[in-house]
Homo-oligomer: A and B are copies of this chain.
Amino acid sequence: MSKTTAAPATIAFAGLGAMGLGMAESCLRAGHRVLGTDLNRTALDRLIAAGGRELTPDSAGEAGIFVSVVLNAAQTQEVLYGESGFARHLPPGAVIVSSATIAPEQARDNAARAADMNLLYLDAPISGGAARAATGELSIMASGAQEAFDAAAPALAAMARSVHDLGRDAGAGSAMKAVNQLLAGVHIAAMGEALALGISQGLDPERILQVISASAGTSWMFENRAPRVVEGDYEARSAIDIWPKDLGIVTDIAQGAALSTPVAEAALTRFREASRQGLGALDDAAITRLYAAEAGLSLPGKR
């Protein structure tokens, strides 16, 4: 999918992983100049091969848009405001688009620091997975000043199919992402639990997939992940190790609000256990393997 804009912008990316590289390439396809940096040199080489350049303290001065799409809050903090952080090298009025899943409070802190440095900040977590990042069809849950939305518009248009505007205050985007991750993480764990239950009763996994997908028990995650169990394919598109982090943020936020989240906690405990057992780098559909192993059940092998 190719998107074009009238005025090419210079867009910097910190983080060229499964999501970041696809987002950067979507910006290149839309005709923008793209800078990038990643701890993994191979990822940077791929960006350069696609027509991008390396993001350095010097070249950061050209970037009107800075997209941070690193792993977590600590990395976001580091890449923006740490000793080798880029915020101080950005031109005045540039916009930081922060896309890692972080707590709303951290998004508000980051936005306040950006304002102190005469920078704009968009709290802009992403949803949709690596495939949609690559095609520029992400869903973005964004909040921030109108000026931040306006300044980020060329990048948002290139990267996203839908941008949900959640208001003028940083934090709302991250809050909505937490709501989404609570549901998504619980639904994946429940999928594993339900498939294992059905298999323990002699049901065929493929038949479970067919019937449940057409029933009230279905979810976006069930329909997306259960086919991987049926195929026996656990190559990570979204790894188990995402969930201790993201559901940890969910339960932290909830605790701060005196809200009990026992269902999310049960799912979190399952993902932590799967990670502890060495399944962390597998696709999150492999949570089903944790259940199956405990009950001595056989899952379909790779076809």
Expressed in whole angstroms, the Cα–Cα distance for A129 and B215 within the complex equals 11
Q: Is the CB of A179 within 8 A of B166?
A: no
CA distance A26 to B219 in the complex (A): 29
A102 to nearest B CB, angstroms? 13
Report the nearest B residue to A251, measured CB to CB. B197
> Of A2-10, A33-41, A66-74, A262-270, which binds chain B?
A262-270
- Chain A interface SS verdict (over half): helix
Across-interface contacts of A104 in B (CB, < 8 A): 201
Scan residues 168-186 of chain A and give those whose CB is less than 8 A from a CB of chain B: 171-172, 175-176, 178-184, 186
Chain B interface: which of A15-23, A47-55, A86-94, A288-296? A288-296
Number of copies: 2
Which 3 A-B residue pairs are closest in the complex by CB-CB distance? A183-B217, A175-B201, A219-B219
Chain B: CB-nearest residue to A104 = B201
Q: Looking at chain A, what size class is its interface with the partner chain?
A: 35 or more
For residue A203, which residues in chain B have a CB less than 8 angstroms away from its CB?
166, 172, 175-176, 179
Q: Which residues of A188-218 have CB atoms within 8 Å of chain B's CB atoms?
A: 189-191, 193-198, 200-203, 207-208, 210-212, 214-218
Determine whether A98 belongs to the interface, using a CB cutoff of 8 Å to chain B: no
> Provided the pairs A200-B257, A202-B175, A208-B176 are in contact, do residues A218 and B183 lie with their beta carbons within 8 angstroms?
yes
